[in-house]
Amino acid sequence: MATILIHADAKAAENATAKRLLDKIATKPDATLGLATGGTMEQVYAILIEKARELNLSFAGLKSFNLDEYIGLSADHPQSYRTYMNKLLFDHVDIKPENTHLPRGDAADPAEEARRYEAMITEQGGIDLQLLGIGINGHIGFNEPSSSLGSRTRIKKLAISTMEANRRFFKPDEAVPTHALTMGIATIMQARKVILLATGAAKADAIAAALEGPVSTACPASVLQFHPDVTVIIDEDAASKLKLRDFYESIHPGGEEVYFVK
C-alpha cells in the first residue's frame, strides 16, 4: 500500500512535501528530481526556497526533469511550464540552468522531441524522486484518461476538463493549448520514489479513484498502486471521499510519518 498521509490543511500538506524534497537534497546532493507544475505546487516551491536558504542547502549538484510542457509555447512564453519553473523555483536557487530539463514545447518535430526527452532521462540515470500533482480527472503529468499504462514521453491531446481547469492561467482572450508533451505513465513509474500531493475538495474524487478504485486507464493515477515506493500527501478536503480514511489516519495520525531517508 502506498503511504497515505492526511494533513489538517493544505499548508501542512505543502510543508510535508517540501520537507521530503529538502531531505532528498540534503542526503543526495546530486539527486535527479522529477518536478511538477500546477497551482498545487506553487507553495511547495516557495517553502522549498525559503527553507533551503535557512538550511544553506545547495542545489548546484541536482538535475531536474519536469513532467510536461504545452506544445506550441516557446520557453519564454509567459504560460509555458519553463517560465513557471524559472519564476517559481529555478531563478531563486543555485541549480545550474543547464541541469534543468523540460520538453521543448516549440520543437519543430514534437514526436522527435518526446523521444529525445525520454532518452535523456534514461541516459542520465533515471529519476530519484518524482513529484506529482493530480488532475480532477485523475491525470498525472498530462496523461489523460485512456493513456496507456505502458506509455513513454509522447504527444497527448488535453481533455476538455483539463483545458478548462488550466484556462485560469491564461489571459481571457488567449487560446489554451490543446496538446502537450508529457512523460508517459511508464516513465513516471520508473522513478525510484514518487510523492503525490493533492489539496482541496476538487481533488477528492480523483484521490478516491486513484487510491481505492481499480487500477485502470480511466484514472491514470491509479497505476501508482503498483509503484513500490509512493507517498500520497493530502489535506482533509482531498481525503474526504476515501472509504478507508480512518484506517489511513490510524496508521499516520495527523499525517505524521516515522520514516527513514533513503
From the candidates 69, 144, 235, 236, give the one annotated as an active-site residue.
144
CA dist 250 and 239 (Å) reads 14
**Closer residue to ligand GLP (CB): 110 or 135:** 135
Q: Shortest Cβ distance from residue 205 to ligand GLP (Å)? A: 13
Which grid cell sits at 245? 480514511
| 237 included as an active-site residue | no
Choose the binding region for ligand GLP from 34-42, 48-56, 98-106, 206-214 (rule: CB under 6 A): 34-42
Establish if 38 lies at the interface with ligand GLP (CB under 6 A).
yes
From the candidates 15, 66, 68, 166, give the one annotated as an active-site residue.
68
From the candidates 7, 15, 66, 137, give the one annotated as an active-site residue.
137
What secondary structure does DSSP assign to 209-262, as a single string?
HHHHS-SBTTBGGGGGGG-SSEEEEEETTTTTT-TTHHHHHHHSGGG-------
| 249 included as an active-site residue | no
| 86 included as an active-site residue | no
13, 255 Cβ separation under 8 angstroms: yes
Q: Shortest Cβ distance from residue 37 to ligand GLP (Å)? A: 6
**In the complex, which residue's CB is closest to ligand GLP?**
133
| 113 included as an active-site residue | no
Establish if 117 lies at the interface with ligand GLP (CB under 6 A).
no
| Number of residues this chain uses to bind ligand GLP (CB under 6 A) | 14
Q: Which of residues 65-84 bind ligand GLP (CB under 6 A)?
A: 67-68
261, 22 Cβ separation under 8 angstroms: no
- Work out the number of other CB atoms within 10 angstroms of the CB of residue 112: 10
The dihedral region occupied by 233, where left means phi > 0, alpha psi between -120 and 50, and beta the remainder, is beta
Establish if 220 lies at the interface with ligand GLP (CB under 6 A).
no
Nearest Cα residue to 239 out of 212, 209, 201: 201
170, 79 Cβ separation under 8 angstroms: yes
Q: Which of 34, 103, 135, 255 binds ligand GLP (CB under 6 A)?
A: 135
Residues designated as active site: 68, 137, 139, 144
